[in-house]
Structure 1
Amino acid sequence: MAPTSETLTAERILEATEEVLRRHGPAKATVVDVARALGVSHGSVYRHFRTKAALREAVTKRWLDRTSLKLAGIVADGGSPEERLRAWLAALFEAKRHKAGDDPELFATYTVLTDENGTVVGEHIAELTAQLTGIVAAGAESGAFSVADPAAAARAVFQATGRFHDPCYAREWTAPGIHEEFTAVVDLLLRGLAPTGR
Structure 2
Amino acid sequence: MISFFAGLGLGLSLIIAIGAQNVFVLRQGIRREHVLAVVMICALSDAILIATGVAGLGFLLESVPWLVDAARILGAVVLIAYGLLAARRAWRGGDQTLRPSGDEKRPGRLAAVIAVALALTWLNPHVYLDTVLMLGSIAATHGDARWLFAAGAILASILWFTALGYGARGLARWLNTPRAWRILDAVIAAVMITIAISLVVPLFG
Q: TM-score, normalised by structure 2?
A: 0.32
Query: Which structure has the greater CA radius of gyration?
Result: 1
Q: TM-score, normalised by structure 1?
A: 0.33
Structure holding more helix per residue: 2
